[in-house]
Amino acid sequence: MTPDQTPDILLIRQTRPDVAERLAARFRLHRLDDAPDRDAVLSAIGPRIRGLAVGAMCPIDAALFDRLPHLEIVSSFGVGYDTIDVGAAARRGIVVTHTPDVLSDEVADLALGLLLAAVRRIPQGDRYLRAGHWRAASFPLTASLRERRVGILGLGRIGQAIATRLEGFGVGIAYHGRTPRAEVSYAYHDSLIGLAQAVDVLIVAAPGGPETRGIVDAAVLAALGPEGIVVNIARGSVIDEAALIEALRAGTIHAAGLDVFENEPQVPDALIALENTVLLPHVGSGSHHTRTAMGRLLTDNLVSWFEGDGPLTPVPETPWSRAR
């Protein structure tokens, strides 16, 4: 690329300095976040922009694409892309990339952490000790992971990494997705309610979006039963949050460990007030190690695209390898 061919890239809600530095070394970089007048910035530079670098959970819609007539690629930080209108991107020939695989182990580790924390009440025990209650009485006995069957909703990259870890815990493993996986021997259920009836732990690892909105509903929670544990490391939208709160409050299920919520960063007071929840602020991939790897893959996708080598990790809806 000669200097006058250097592509213009727009950074949106991507705050990692290492990402901005790597992009600035290769591209003409513009930022939308710190612009006092976003509209004016888009009017001035929109027609020059050929690539977007966007942060996790960043809404990207057709109205933005209208302002960027020469956009070729959206490189997104994170594996989930339910906040990006990929249909609109596909219709315009824009490739969308994400950061799969490099975060699967990290998120799976956290899912197991949430499961153990919810079953054995680890944060509650910590609070009990710090409050000085131990001097007066032992911490109450808890539920157990022993003799449980764990169901995974969405046996994809992260779901499989969770299953691999669960094998070491000696629990039964079953799963539901739209298609059975020939390469695994875990029990497949062709319906979510069927899975919930067969297990007493449900780990949600399916993508967000209209297709999965609220599929973990009151009926699924009831099927899980009073010993039931729900862990969600996927998207808050997959669970009907009001139904979950009611199930936790009424004892329809036993406990929940949640990393994601319907309306982040707002978390319902009702969920916070419950003693049988373990709540985390969407930190599944949030380690220095993994966020650095994600940032590198985000920039590598842009570099590879503009060097003519195609995207490294496009989403399935935009599989093309050249600008259309």
> Which string of x and - marks every residue 202-241 that binds ligand NAP (by CB under 6 A)?
---xxxx--xx--------------------xxx------
Site for ligand NAP contains 177 (CB under 6 A): yes
Region of 31-39, 135-143, 149-157, 303-311 interacting with ligand NAP (CB under 6 A): 149-157
Which of the ranges 2-10, 84-92, 282-290, 292-300 carries the binding residues for ligand NAP, by CB under 6 A?
Answer: 282-290
Smallest distance from ligand NAP to CB 321, Å: 20
Active-site residue (options: 235, 241, 262, 291): 235
Question: Is residue 241 flagged as an active site residue?
Answer: no
DSSP string, 161-228: HHHHHHHTTT-EEEEE-SS--TT--SEEESSHHHHHHH-SEEEE-S--SGGGTT-B-HHHHHHH-TT-
Give 110-147 as a 3 state SS string: HHHHHHHHHHHCHHHHHHHHHCCHHHCCCCCCCCCCCC
Between 64 and 102, CB nearer to ligand NAP: 102
Q: Which two tokens stand for residue 10?
A: 């727009």
State the minimum distance, in angstroms, from the CB of residue 232 to ligand NAP.
8
* CA distances for 268 relative to 70, 203, 231, angstroms: 41, 21, 17
Per CB under 6 A, does 285 bind ligand NAP?
yes
Q: What contacts 77, CB < 8 A, 6 or more positions away?
A: 14, 16, 19, 53, 54, 55, 56, 58, 99, 294, 295, 298
Using the minimum distance from each CB to ligand NAP, give the nearer residue, 258 or 302: 258
320 and 93 in contact (C-beta within 8 Å)?
yes
Give the strands of the sheet with 95-97, arranged side by side. 28-31, 8-12, 49-54, 73-76, 95-97
Q: Shortest gap between Cβ of 324 and ligand NAP (angstroms)? A: 24
Clarify whether 13 is annotated catalytic: no
Q: Which is nearer to ligand NAP, 103 or 271 (CB)?
A: 103
Nearest-angstrom CA–CA distance, 4 and 236:
44
* H or E element at residue 237: none
Which of these is catalytic: 21, 211, 264, 307? 264
Closest distance to ligand NAP from the beta carbon of 82 (Å): 6
| 252 lines the binding site for ligand NAP (CB under 6 A) | no
Q: Which is nearer to ligand NAP, 55 or 284 (CB)?
A: 284
282 is known as an active-site residue: yes
Are 113 and 123 contacting, i.e. CB atoms less than 8 angstroms apart? Answer: no
Site string for ligand NAP, 21-60 (x = CB under 6 A): ----------------------------------------
When the beta carbons of 200 and 259 are compared against ligand NAP, the nearer one is 259
Cβ proximity to ligand NAP, 22 vs 291, nearer residue: 291
Active site residues: 235, 264, 282
